[in-house]
């Protein structure tokens, strides 16, 4: 009550000062969307949307059945898609259950909370796999429990340990499995033995044909300066192929194929998980290139996209690229010796291209790979095809070298060379 007059005086002075600054006293009768600021903002938003559609393509022309983001073309996980499609049905079922159990049949009190749905969501991170350390601890605990039970059993009755260990006492035999998965060896150990037979070289040999493992090249050529997949093809990948054509008369690019029923699915799953993204020329490249290449569907679309770009090259030399089970050639030629081909991995399919090159009278061939399997197959092929020179450009960075497969085959002899793939497998 004491401060009332003073507060009223401050209000009058404030209102007088606002009127002196040109405060509008007449009421605003226009809609807020009719103001100049709103109209300017609306024009800017329309222009931005037009620019995005021109850059990424019209989203309403997308014919795929996948659920994807329009800006990045990331394909949503199938579990999330199932959640979106079944959300209404799940909600209706739970609503009917709620009415039946509570008001109608009165089996459940109204105060009891409803169970939370565990549906896959858009922002939900993929489940992490257990590390080897955690799996090893779990395996040790299982072994301790097994021997504890064995010790207790031996205290109460006579037991024959030799007879006990004649039988399976674990879900998976330790000699064949590791943490519940198939135990894998290290095939690269054979590489050290083979290189002792013939000395590797650091200088590039003169060859007429270069056969590239396309997946290896894509892994090595990261898109540092490219922004979209089209930029990657025009600025990174195709210039590399052009450099190879400067040193050879013919260049073959062999791509892997991926099948859901393949035995290799397990081995590829150990490389980790990535983000599924639609491969279109205008689509922006993923930030993590190696993570993108962990998804088989991503690589299938990328390999097909790059194969089409290769087929559109302008060159006066021979270029052959696989395209699924078929091949694309520059210039067009008879491909009955190369296609159709159902080889899943490029390892064996590259040897098929070696045989085709030899059939075309080429005697100096170079294979580019980082896989020991290709070297083993090359040694066997050099012995069987009677080729003059068959080199394997192996490794990367400071470990890169040229291995003479023909010299290894000559040193081992035809019998050992052709039996080597069976031993290596």
The tens digit of pLDDT for each residue in 317-370 reads: 999 999 989 999 999 988 888 989 988 889 999 999 999 999 999 999 999 999
In the DSSP assignment, the letter for residue 69 is -
| Position 16 pLDDT exceeds 80 | no
Q: Which residues contact 405 (CB under 8 A, 6 or more apart)?
A: 367, 375, 378, 379, 381, 382, 390, 391, 392
Which helix or strand (DSSP H or E) is residue 71 part of? Answer: none
Which pLDDT belongs to residue 248?
93
Please state the length of the chain. 425
Phi/psi at 355 (5° precision): -60, -40
Q: What percent of the chain has pLDDT over 70?
A: 85
| Position 9 pLDDT exceeds 80 | no
DSSP line for 297-330: HHHHHHHHHHHHHHHT---SSEEEEEETTEEEEE
Ramachandran assignment for 45, one of left (phi > 0), alpha (psi -120 to 50 degrees), beta (any other): alpha
Domains detected in the chain: 132-182 (no CATH), 189-424 (3.40.50)
Identify which of 122-136, 209-223, 257-271 has the greatest average pLDDT: 209-223
- Order of strands, sheet of 389-394, starting from the edge strand that comes earlier in the sequence: 326-330, 318-323, 250-254, 209-213, 364-369, 389-394, 401-404
Q: Are strands 181-182 and 177-178 parallel, antiparallel or unpaired?
A: antiparallel
The answer to whether 218 and 202 are in contact (CB under 8 A) is no
| Position 140 pLDDT exceeds 60 | yes
Q: For 54-58, 81-85, 162-166, 365-369, which range has the lowest pLDDT when averaged over its residues?
A: 54-58
Q: For 181-185, 298-302, 399-403, which range has the lowest pLDDT when averaged over its residues?
A: 181-185
Ramachandran assignment for 86, one of left (phi > 0), alpha (psi -120 to 50 degrees), beta (any other): alpha
Q: Provide the CB-side half-sphere exposure for 146 (13 A, CA).
A: 13
| Position 107 pLDDT exceeds 90 | no
Which pLDDT belongs to residue 262?
63
Q: What average pLDDT score do residues 38-65 get? A: 78
Which pLDDT belongs to residue 243?
93
Q: Provide the CB-side half-sphere exposure for 337 (13 A, CA).
A: 15
More confident residue, 231 or 19: 231
Q: Which residues contact 333 (CB under 8 A, 6 or more apart)?
A: 318
Which pLDDT belongs to residue 63?
67
H helices, E strands: number in the chain = 16, 9
The tens digit of pLDDT for each residue in 250-297 reads: 999 999 988 766 656 555 555 556 678 888 888 888 888 888 888 888
More confident residue, 90 or 270: 90
My answer on whether omega of the bond before 293 falls inside 30° of 0, hence cis, is: no
Which pLDDT belongs to residue 367?
95
Question: Rounded mean pLDDT of the chain?
Answer: 83
CA distance 178 to 260: 23
Crossing angle (nearest 10°) for helices 405-412 and 372-385: 60
Distances (CA, A) of 84 to 22, 99, 352: 54, 24, 46
Which helix or strand (DSSP H or E) is residue 83 part of? Answer: helix 78-99
Distance of CA 206 to the CA centre of its chain: 35
Does the pTM of the predicted model rise above 0.85? Answer: no
Which pLDDT belongs to residue 56?
62
Distances (CA, A) of 322 to 238, 252, 356, 396: 15, 8, 13, 24
Which pLDDT belongs to residue 294?
87
CA distance 174 to 181: 10
Please list the residues that pair with 224 across neighbouring strands.
Answer: none
Which pLDDT belongs to residue 216?
93
Q: What average pLDDT score do residues 27-50 get? A: 83
More confident residue, 5 or 241: 241
Q: Which residues contact 155 (CB under 8 A, 6 or more apart)?
A: none
CA distance 282 to 19: 56
């Amino acid at each position: 009550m004491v401060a009332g007059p003073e507060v009223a005086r401050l209000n009058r002075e404030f209102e007088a000062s606002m009127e002196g600054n040109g405060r509008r006293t007449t009421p605003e009768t226009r809609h807020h969307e009719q103001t100049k600021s709103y109209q300017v903002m609306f024009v800017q938003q329309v222009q931005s949307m037009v620019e995005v559609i021109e850059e990424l393509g019209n989203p309403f022309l997308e014919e795929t059945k996948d659920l994807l983001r329009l800006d990045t073309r990331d394909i949503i996980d199938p579990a999330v898609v199932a959640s979106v499609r079944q959300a209404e049905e799940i909600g209706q079922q739970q609503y009917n259950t709620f009415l039946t159990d509570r008001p109608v049949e009165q089996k459940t009190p109204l105060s009891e909370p409803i169970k939370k749905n565990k549906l896959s969501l858009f922002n939900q991170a993929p489940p992490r796999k257990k590390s080897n350390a955690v799996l090893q601890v779990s395996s040790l605990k299982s072994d301790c429990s097994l021997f504890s039970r064995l010790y207790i059993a031996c205290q109460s009755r006579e037991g024959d340990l030799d007879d006990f260990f004649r039988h399976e006492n674990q879900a998976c035999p330790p000699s064949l499995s590791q943490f519940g998965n198939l135990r894998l060896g290290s095939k690269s150990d054979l590489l050290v033995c083979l290189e002792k037979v013939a000395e590797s070289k650091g200088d590039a040999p003169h060859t007429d044909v270069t056969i590239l493992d396309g997946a290896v090249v894509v892994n090595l050529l990261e898109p540092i300066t490219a922004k979209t997949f089209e930029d990657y093809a025009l600025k990174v990948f195709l210039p590399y192929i052009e450099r190879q054509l400067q040193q050879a008369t013919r260049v073959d690019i062999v791509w892997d194929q991926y099948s859901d029923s393949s035995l290799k699915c397990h081995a590829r799953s150990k490389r980790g998980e990535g983000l599924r993204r639609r491969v279109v020329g205008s689509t922006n490249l993923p930030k993590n290139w190696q993570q993108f290449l962990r998804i088989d569907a991503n690589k299938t679309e990328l390999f097909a996209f790059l194969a089409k770009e290769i087929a559109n090259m302008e060159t006066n030399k021979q270029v052959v690229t696989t395209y699924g089970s078929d091949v694309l050639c520059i210039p067009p030629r008879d491909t009955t010796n190369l296609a159709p081909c159902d080889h899943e991995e490029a390892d064996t399919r590259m040897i098929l291209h070696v045989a085709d090159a030899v059939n075309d009278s080429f005697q100096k061939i170079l294979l580019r790979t980082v896989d020991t399997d290709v070297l083993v197959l090359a040694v066997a092929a050099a012995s069987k095809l009677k080729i003059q020179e068959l080199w394997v450009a192996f490794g990367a960075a400071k470990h890169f070298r040229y291995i003479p497969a023909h010299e290894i085959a000559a040193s081992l002899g035809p019998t050992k060379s052709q039996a080597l793939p069976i031993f290596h497998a």
